């Protein structure tokens, strides 16, 4: 039955949304701890990767909506608990909320490393909405390949109209995305769905056998190396150049990376770990409140109120400024003089507060 088969694809696409989201808090944390002037190259590289992860999340939502599914974003299990355990077939590693450092960049490279690596995320190791991101020992690329195959099978069996029967008004349009490579694709048939998946995979891993992503081929944009290679460039402080091979180190121009010019953030900050009433606690709670409000707005954005995306983006800017304040506040009684940081913790709707400075969710304001 189509409905039953579809449910499986729904589940995979929800997994995709969570997978894409799960990398954003760690990337953002590293990004927040450096500044645009002393680490210009890394700042821009991480910024662009984060933007593209958000694009991937949006693309996954568009596909899910196109086939009549429902993205779940504002949900207690949507944010993994950091450090999140990434369990690959050949090794395991933690992904935490860490400051910018060689270590955190290495972790990011692990996340984005193309092919070969088998993902084997089982049990409760990533606490996503479905409690697990089970990719059945596949790479991320293979996982998305499966989704493609599933969609193709369904279309073959039931026809495109039956499969892509989602409300077209739920699609997020290309005009809403900017600041990174790629483009939002409005998904309404098999072709656009497959294209959207190719964009996700190529931006992360690189187009097959190259260091570059597919943006040049797909969108005629300037050539850009895929995420893994962008992190690699930071790590070895050198850019790739045309002709460099995926398995070999970059041979382009040297870039300046100031590993010391970072905010000395505590690992995996949690609001509850700061004393009640302390400035660190107050700001950490503000951040969590904001992040949860943000997820709510995203949830509504992807479920029929696409005009709210303007507000969600506005909230992302606010997050950056509160994170910057947290990173100026000393953790009480910390012997190494570490500073607080953004915890990215979920606050249930009943406990959410409205602040004077917070962008509200009101829709009528957008008229």
Partner 1 sequence: MSEQKKYDVVIVGAGITGAIVANQLAEKGHKVLILEAGVKKSFNFEDYRAYLHHYYKNTIKIPNSPYPQNSNAPQPLVTDVEGIKDGIQQFNKDGYFKQFGPAPFQSTYTRAKGGTTLHWLGTCLRMLPSDFKEKDLYNSGKNWPINYYDLMPYYRMAEQEIGVSADVDEQGFLGIEFEEGYVYPMNKIPQSYLDKKLTEWTDGAQFTYENKTYNYSVVSTPQGRNSSPNPNYNNGEGYQPVGAVGNPDLGQRCEGNSACVPICPVQAKYNALKTLKKAVDKGVVIKEQCVASEILYDKKTGEVNGVRYKKYENFEDLTSGKECNYTEEVITAERYVLAAHAVENAKLMLASGFQNKNIGQNLMDHPVLLTWGWAKEKIGAFRGPGSTSGIPSLRDGLFRRERSAFRIEIGNWGWNWPTGAPTTELQEGVSKHLFGKKLRKYMLDTVQKEFRLGFLIEQQALANNRVSIDNRYRDALGNYRPIINYNITDHEKEGMLAAKQFSKQFFKTIGGEDKTEYDPDKGGFIEYKGEELWWQGAGHLAGTHIMGTDKSNSVVDKYQRCHEHKNLFLVGCGNMPTMGTSNPTLTIAALSFWAAENIDKDLNSLKK
Partner 2 sequence: MKIRASERLQIFEQLSVVLTGFSISEILGTGLSKVYLETIDNNLGKAIPDKLFNEFTNIPIKNEEELTVSESDSIEVLVESAEYQSIIKQIILLWYLGQWIGKENYIISSQSYLEGFVWKAIGAHPMGGKQPGFGTWGFPPLTFSQ
Binding footprint of partner 2 on the chain (CB under 8 A): 178, 279-280, 282-283, 310-311, 313-314, 316-318, 321, 324-330, 356-357, 359, 365-366
- Binding at 222: pick from partner 1, partner 2, none (beta carbon under 5-8 Å per type): partner 1
CB of 300 to partner 1, least distance (A): 20
Q: Which residue in 50, 25, 38, 29 sits closest to 230, CA to CA?
A: 50
Phi, psi of 119 (to 5 degrees): -85, 135
d(CA 8, CA 5): 5
CB of 161 to partner 1, least distance (A): 25
User: Based on CB atoms, which residue is closest to partner 2, 68 or 279?
Assistant: 279
- Binding at 44: pick from partner 1, partner 2, none (beta carbon under 5-8 Å per type): partner 1
User: Based on CB atoms, which residue is closest to partner 1, 10 or 219?
Assistant: 219
- Binding at 336: pick from partner 1, partner 2, none (beta carbon under 5-8 Å per type): none
**Window contacting partner 1 (CB under 8 A); options: 44-52, 112-120, 245-253, 336-344:** 44-52
User: Based on CB atoms, which residue is closest to partner 2, 140 or 329?
Assistant: 329
Our CA dihedral for 234, 237, 243, 248, rounded to 10 degrees, sits at: -80
User: Based on CB atoms, which residue is closest to partner 2, 127 or 283?
Assistant: 283
Range 161-180, binding partner 1 (CB under 8 A): 174-176, 178-180
d(CA 183, CA 175): 9
Tokens of 142: 């293979």
| Phi-psi sector, 220: left (phi>0), alpha (psi -120 to 50), beta | left
Tokens of 208: 């097959």
Q: At a CB cut-off of 8 Å and minimum separation 6, what does 181 contact?
A: 48, 51, 52, 203, 213, 215, 219, 221, 224
Q: Is 214 in the site for partner 1 (CB under 8 A)?
A: no
Tokens of 127: 């606490």
- Binding at 40: pick from partner 1, partner 2, none (beta carbon under 5-8 Å per type): partner 1
CB of 261 to partner 2, least distance (A): 14
Range 178-207, binding partner 1 (CB under 8 A): 178-181
User: Based on CB atoms, which residue is closest to partner 1, 205 or 224?
Assistant: 224
d(CA 52, CA 49): 5
User: Based on CB atoms, which residue is closest to partner 2, 335 or 357?
Assistant: 357
User: Based on CB atoms, which residue is closest to partner 1, 58 or 107?
Assistant: 58
Range 4-43, binding partner 1 (CB under 8 A): 36-37, 40
CB of 163 to partner 1, least distance (A): 26
Task: Please identify which residue in the block is written with the tokens 């989602």.
Answer: 166
Angle formed by the axes of helices 102-112 and 227-236, nearest 10°? 160
What value, to the nearest 5°, has the Cα angle with vertex 38 and ends 34 and 40? 80
Q: Is 47 in the site for partner 1 (CB under 8 A)?
A: yes
CB of 38 to partner 1, least distance (A): 11
CB of 307 to partner 2, least distance (A): 10
CB of 313 to partner 1, least distance (A): 9
Range 275-334, binding partner 1 (CB under 8 A): 317
CB of 232 to partner 1, least distance (A): 19
Q: Is 355 in the site for partner 1 (CB under 8 A)?
A: no
Q: Judge whether 98 and 104 are in contact, CB under 8 Å.
A: yes
CB of 356 to partner 2, least distance (A): 5
Positions in the binding site for partner 1 (CB under 8 A): 36-37, 40, 44, 47-48, 51, 174-176, 178-181, 222, 317
């Amino acid at each position: 039955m189509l409905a039953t088969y579809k449910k499986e694809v729904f589940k995979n696409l929800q997994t995709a949304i969570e997978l894409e989201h799960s990398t954003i808090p760690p990337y953002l944390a590293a990004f927040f701890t450096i500044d645009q002037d002393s680490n210009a190259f890394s700042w821009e590289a991480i910024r662009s990767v984060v933007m593209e992860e958000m694009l991937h999340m949006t693309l996954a939502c568009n596909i899910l909506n196109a086939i009549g599914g429902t993205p779940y974003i504002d949900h207690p299990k949507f944010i993994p608990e950091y450090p999140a355990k990434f369990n690959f077939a050949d090794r395991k590693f933690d992904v935490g909320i860490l400051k910018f450092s060689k270590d955190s960049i290495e972790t990011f490279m692990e996340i984005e490393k193309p092919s070969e690596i088998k993902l084997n995320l089982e049990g409760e190791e990533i606490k996503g909405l479905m409690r697990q991101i089970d990719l059945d020992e596949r790479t991320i690329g293979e996982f998305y390949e499966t989704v493609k195959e599933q969609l193709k099978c369904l279309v073959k069996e039931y026809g495109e109209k039956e499969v892509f029967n989602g409300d077209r008004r739920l699609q997020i349009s290309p005009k809403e995305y900017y600041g990174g490579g790629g483009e939002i694709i409005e998904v309404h048939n098999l072709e656009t769905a497959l294209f959207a998946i190719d964009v996700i995979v190529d931006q992360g891993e690189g187009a097959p056998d190259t260091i570059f992503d597919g943006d040049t081929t797909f969108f005629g944009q300037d050539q850009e190396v895929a995420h893994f290679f962008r992190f690699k460039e930071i790590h070895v402080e050198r850019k790739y150049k045309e002709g460099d091979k995926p398995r070999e180190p970059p041979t382009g121009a040297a870039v300046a990376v100031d590993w010391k010019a970072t905010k000395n953030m505590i690992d995996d900050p949690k609001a509850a770990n700061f004393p009640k009433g302390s400035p660190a606690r107050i700001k950490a709670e503000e951040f969590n409140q904001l992040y949860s409000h943000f997820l709510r707005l995203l949830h509504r954005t992807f479920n029929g109120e696409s005009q709210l995306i303007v507000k969600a983006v506005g909230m992302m800017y606010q997050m950056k400024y509160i994170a910057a304040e947290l990173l100026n506040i000393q953790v009480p009684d910390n012997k190494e003089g570490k500073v607080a940081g953004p915890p990215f913790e979920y606050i249930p709707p009943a406990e959410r507060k409205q602040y004077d400075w917070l962008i509200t969710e009101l829709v009528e304001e957008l008229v």
